[in-house]
Each structure stands twice: as C-alpha cells, then as structure tokens.
Chains A and B, each alone.
With several copies, the nearest count.
Chain A
Amino acid sequence: MDQSDSVVQLLDSNGSFTNDSLFTSTLKESELIDFYRDMVLVRAIDEQATALQRQGELGLWAPLLGQEAAQIGSARAMKKQDFAFSTYREHGVAWCRGVDPVDMLSFWRGTKHQGWDANQYRSYGYQIIIGAHALHATGYAMGAYLSRNTETGDAGIDQAVMAYFGDGAMSEGDVNEAFVFAASYQAPVVFFCQNNQWAISEPTKRQSRVPLAYRAAGFGIPGIRVDGNDVIACYEVTRQALDRARSGQGPTLIEAITYRMGAHTTSDDPTKYQVFSEVELWRDRDPIERLKVYLRAKGVLNNELESEISNEAATLSERMRDECRKLPDPNPLSMFDHVYSESDLNIDEQKREVETILSRSQDN
C-alpha cells in the first residue's frame, strides 16, 4: 500500500465488478446479501431516527445517509475481539457490533450519555469531541499489544482496533498525535477516515489540499484511499489493514471517499452551502443501489428477498418508534451517581437538596 492518488474500487457505481491490482473480493454471495441487508436496515434506522427527531422525540440526530457502505464494509471486517471507537455518526458501525438501535436513540433523546455497554459490544459509545477518541483507540491498541493479544497468529485471539472519524477531524491535534503514537509503538489500530466531503459547512479542501490518505506516510504509516460507497472495497481494504495490525505490522490510515447525503445533523441546513448538482452526482453513486444492481444481475437478490428485507426494515422502524417513546427518563437523582467510585459527602449533600425538591413536588 503506497501513497498514490488511486482509489480502490471493486464494484463501480453501475454495479459492475471492477479490477484492482492489489485487492480482490473474498466475499461469498451470502455475505454480500448480509451486507445488503445491513445497509438497508441502517438506512431505515437513520430515516426513522430523523423522523423521530422531527417529531420532537430526539434532541438531535446525525444522519449517516450515503455513508452506509463505508460503515458496514469496514465494521463487518472487524472480528468479535476487535474494538471500535466511533463518532456521533457511526450508527452503522454500532449496528454491526450488535447494538440495538433503540439503545442508540437513548443518547440522542437525552436519557443516557452512553446508550450501551462499551465492553459488551466492544464498541465505545458516541464521541462528540472531534478526534479525542483517536487517541483512546491508539491507547487501547497499545494495550492489546502489551497484553500480547496481538501477533499470536491465533485468529480468535489477535486483536485490532478501529478508530473512526471524519475529514474534518484530520485537522485536530489529537488525531495527528494519535498517528505519532500509533506509529511510534506500532500499535494495532486502523484509522478509518470517512471523507464525506464536508465538516458541517466546510469542504474537505479547507482541511487539506492533498488527499487525506497522504497524511499517513509522513508519520510512517501506510495510507490508502478506497471508494467509500463500495461496500466490497471498504470491506477488503479494512480487512487487510486489520490483518496487518493484528500481525504486528502496525497501523494504517484508510480514507473512504464518500458523501454526506443528508444534513450534518437535524439542526443543520445544508442548502446554505451545498451545491445541488454535486449532491445529484453522488446520488448516482448510491452505495445500496449499486450492490442491489449487482446482486440482482447475479440473480441472488430477487423480489421475494428484497421484500423480506424491506419488511424487516419496516418492522425495525416500527419497533424503534414504539420503544423510543418508552425509553425511560433517568431518575434525576442518578446524576449524583458515578461521579466517583466511592460516595462523597459533598455530592451526597447536593443529592439530598434535589431529593427535598422532588419530594416536595410529589407532595403537591
């Protein structure tokens, strides 16, 4: 993997297989169907969450629309023992790690800061502070190395870590420091940068005049560009990088070139800065559509299976709608829990203040 302008693509936007000199698809048709299902489902999750936010059920939502292939392809390349650190937009990654979409909603509804147990799913909750978690991922990967849970050659043991972030994050000091540490300790971490062309309203060229993947080489890390709307290429490139990491060959930076088809978040108005024609251009490169065309042409996806999957999506959406509304509000007193590992007089006293207020309002 050397520095070059070329972009790995295995499935073009017309849904035809293409050749790449270094990568080929190792996927079975059943796996491709699974990817297709994943992408359809996470798009449904995204749509439903966006709707729930419009209806006032969520405080905010950051849509992944358009980035399904980048997220599903890369996250499906992870093994069970791997660990993912993501931003606020990686619902598809959380999905692949087994997180229930309703647990995802709890963060956006404001009932929890972390909607799921990071250790259970081996996937850390949403990180809002741009870039901060790139260092956590690197440290976690250093931990895997120091614990000798890499380079054993045992596919069930060797761990690697995924760090997800966006094009904008490439400018933050923390991300660049993560490259320094990862390179210095040859940590088994894969940096997966979804270049969705935008950091809110700022185009990628404000952050960099050269392709983002180029950044890696200067830190002594291989960098590679992949078509982020090609789920097969995303899978293969990530899988290879994870294998490299696991086997002691160090970190990789992957730049997945994709497009944020929705608003930055539900608070955003992209018409202020996005050009319609560009959005249209990317609509033709839709990640789900191209896999569908391919699978249909292959004859492995038929009407029946398609409607089965879309029924599954509808059922999931409905359950999200129902369960979102039922997500229990936290007990106000819970805010005094888990500030420290032990009880503290000052915090207990403040808790009693709130208890008094709450009991008073119950009396009324």
Chain B
Amino acid sequence: MPQLSIVHALNQGLHRAMDADSKVLLMGEDIGKLGGVFRVTEGLQKSFGDERVIDSPLAESGIVGTAIGLALYGFRPVVEIQFDGFVFPAFDQIVVQLARMRFRSAGALSLPITIRMPYGGGIGSVEHHSESPEGYFAATPGLRVVTCSNSHDAYWMIQQSIASDDPVIFLEPKRRYWQKSEVNTDSHLNNISALHEARVLTEGSDCTIIGYGPTIATCLQSARLAAEDGVSLEVIDLRSLSPIDMPVLIKSANKTGRVVIVHEASRSGGVGAEIATRLTQECFYKLEAPVMRVTGYDVPYPPSRIEDDYLPDAERILDAVEKCMGY
C-alpha cells in the first residue's frame, strides 16, 4: 500500500471522484494553475480542464452561492475555502441557504456540495490562518461536518463527502498535511466505513480520549506515554462532528467510565460541550468523573509565537486523564 501525505491522498481522492462522476467540479481561489495554496488540487486542472477546475473570483459568498446554483443545475461542486479564517464571508450562504435547501423544499431539492477547508493551528502563521471554526457548522442542522486525521481517511472521506447527497463541510488538518501514512486505494466507496462513523484507534480500559483531525496524533502520543505509566487509554477518532456517532462513544464511555475530549477550538460552545452533554445523559451512572475537555482556550487565536501554549498537547491530555482518575 502506498505511503501518501494527506495532501496527496486528498489530491488522488479528488482525482478519483472526478473520474467517477463527470458532474463533479472544483471551485475556489487559486485552485487551478496554482493547484491551491497547499497544492491539494495540483494537476487537476491539467487533467480535467478549466471547466471542471474553476478558479473563482475573490469572493467566498459568491463561490458558495454560485456553487448552490450549480448544484441546483445538477452538478456536484467541491468548493475550496483557502483558509479556515476566510470562511465567514460565506457564512450566510452556508448556514442559511446550503444547510436548509433540502428541508425547505421538503426533499425536492438537494445540494450535494462539499466545502473543503484547511483548519487548525500550529503552522506558525499570521492571524486568521490557524482557526478552528467547526463548532459553528456542527451546530447547524442540515450540514454534515467531517474531518480526517490520516491519509487513508483523507482519500476515502473526500470521495464519500462528494458522493453524499448532503452538503458536507470537509475539514483538513493543515498542520498534518504533509504527514505520510498508508492508503489502501484497493477498495470501493461502498465497502468503506460510513462517513458518519467514529473509529476506535486504540482500545483501552482506563479512560476514553476523543479527538479528531489534527489532535489525533497528539491523542495517540498521549496514549503511548500513558501506557508507559501503566494507564490504558482508548483513543477514538471522531471523524464526523455532525452527526456524531454516539453509539461508539457511549460504548467506550460505559466501558472506561472516564472521558476526555480534545479539540483545538475554543472550549466554550465547542463540539466538546455537545459530546460531554450527550455522554453524561446516556452514561450518567457509569461515569466515574465528569467528562473533561482539553481544548483551545476561550480567547481568539493568539500570535503564533505562543500558539503552543494554546494548543492541546500530550501533557495537558495526561493532566486531564489524571484528574479523571482521581475522582
């Protein structure tokens, strides 16, 4: 099986999706000749032409709004938002128009649009290039919100997102973009675990760690460190932030009795709050400790020279585990 970076896996996933369905087209700023600022769409305009890989004017609302029109016409647009921090001008089109079209039309109209977006911090860049806006989208009924933590998922989840008849916010963990891992390309979309499924990455008995996207590597590192101290962590890759695969989380929480949720986004009102609330609801008598959150703080993303103090790391995760164990 080939070792691919997440960028390359996405690129090949997009290529395969475009091969499979001529209605798939890509739109965004600088995705054509340049191949995107992270090169995710590199070479695709050469392969598929400039009517399927479309450089858009510099206007995010315009990009998503015209993608909606194209989807109404029968296309499956895949939109790139260049960075997390630039998605907000398109917020109205995403949250009010895109998310609701199926509901509003009682199922008559569907908008199979995928919005790709690099997100998260840790790359030492300037303001607005390191954000985690997933909570806004996960709190919006009608949107699917997914993210990948490795190349295999990157390859398959992007194809599943494009194949989905629902609008999907597809979040790409930018600081892991160049991290390589194995991709099994010898499968078929129908044989891959469903887009909304969470995945247990390491089984454990003492405490469950739920992460997603860029924090998975950190969660796995914590599990290795904890194991050295004889503490057994069960790491779950959430993958889908909306809908949330509660059965997998509930099963794990009932087993370990302790849960730590990890995300880079600010703590308050994040995905962690929703998971904590639902798990407490479902596993009330089984939880030995309150569900803990290891997250970015309730502040705007700080200047990059102190971003390491903002981002969850293994030390903070292990602190939370210890706190759980102490209850």
A–B contact at 8 Å CB threshold (below): yes
Closest chain A CB from B249 CB (angstroms): 12
Closest chain B CB from A250 CB (angstroms): 15
Chain B residues with Cβ under 8 A from A108's Cβ? 126
- Cβ contact within 8 Å between A136 and B104: no
Chain A residues with Cβ under 8 A from B306's Cβ? 329-332, 334-335
Complex: A112 Cα to B56 Cα, angstroms: 32
- Cβ contact within 8 Å between A129 and B96: yes
Tell me the A133-179 residues at the B interface (CB within 8 Å).
134-144, 146-147, 168-169, 171-174, 177-178
- Cβ contact within 8 Å between A112 and B106: yes
- Cβ contact within 8 Å between B62 and A146: no
- 8 Å CB contact of B128 from A128, A169, A206, A268: A128
- Cβ contact within 8 Å between B105 and A201: no
- Cβ contact within 8 Å between A138 and B30: no
Interface check A130, CB cutoff 8 A: yes
Interface check A59, CB cutoff 8 A: yes
- Cβ contact within 8 Å between B102 and A172: no
- 8 Å CB contact of A130 from B58, B196, B305, B307: B58
Closest-by-CB residue of A relative to B69 is A139
Interface check B139, CB cutoff 8 A: no
- Cβ contact within 8 Å between A207 and B25: no
Tell me the B57-115 residues at the A interface (CB within 8 Å).
57-59, 61-62, 64-75, 85-86, 88-89, 92-93, 96-97, 102-110
Chain A interface secondary structure, helix, strand, loop or mixed? helix
How many B residues are at the interface, by size bracket? Answer: 35 or more
Among the 9-residue stretches B10-18, B179-187, B252-260, B295-303, the one with 4 or more Cβ atoms under 8 Å from chain A is B295-303
- 8 Å CB contact of B124 from A59, A346, A347: A59
Chain B residues with Cβ under 8 A from A338's Cβ? 102-103, 105-107
Chain A residues with Cβ under 8 A from B144's Cβ? 340
- Cβ contact within 8 Å between B97 and A132: yes
Interface check B204, CB cutoff 8 A: no
| Given A172-B58, A354-B309; A118-B93 close (CB under 8 Å) | no
Closest chain B CB from A360 CB (angstroms): 8
Chain B residues with Cβ under 8 A from A346's Cβ? 243-244, 246, 268, 298
Inter-chain CB contacts under 8 Å: number: 253
Interface check B166, CB cutoff 8 A: yes
- 8 Å CB contact of A172 from B85, B89, B243: B89
Chain B residues with Cβ under 8 A from A144's Cβ? 73
Closest chain A CB from B117 CB (angstroms): 15
- Cβ contact within 8 Å between A110 and B126: yes
Complex: A193 Cα to B304 Cα, angstroms: 30
Interface check A119, CB cutoff 8 A: yes
Hey, what's the 0/1 contact readout for B140-168 against A, CB within 8 Å counting as 1?
A: 01101000000000000000000011100
- 8 Å CB contact of A173 from B61, B74, B109, B129: B61
- Cβ contact within 8 Å between A138 and B69: yes
- Cβ contact within 8 Å between A336 and B297: yes
Complex: A204 Cα to B107 Cα, angstroms: 38
Chain B residues with Cβ under 8 A from A174's Cβ? 61-62, 65, 89, 92-93
Chain A residues with Cβ under 8 A from B247's Cβ? 345
Closest chain B CB from A97 CB (angstroms): 15
Interface check B228, CB cutoff 8 A: no
Interface check A114, CB cutoff 8 A: yes
- 8 Å CB contact of A178 from B62, B75, B97: B62
| Given A113-B303, A146-B25; A173-B297 close (CB under 8 Å) | no
- Cβ contact within 8 Å between B105 and A171: no
Interface check B286, CB cutoff 8 A: no
Interface check A34, CB cutoff 8 A: no
Interface check A202, CB cutoff 8 A: yes
Among the 9-residue stretches B1-9, B32-40, B215-223, B231-239, the one with 4 or more Cβ atoms under 8 Å from chain A is B32-40
Complex: A198 Cα to B50 Cα, angstroms: 18
Chain A residues with Cβ under 8 A from B300's Cβ? 339
Closest 7 CB pairs of A and B: A139-B69, A135-B65, A143-B73, A110-B304, A139-B66, A177-B62, A201-B34
New A-B pairs, 18, CB < 8 Å, besides A339-B298, A346-B243, A358-B309:
A110-B305, A113-B127, A114-B108, A128-B129, A132-B92, A135-B65, A141-B69, A146-B25, A146-B75, A172-B58, A202-B58, A206-B57, A268-B37, A272-B33, A334-B106, A339-B102, A341-B102, A354-B297
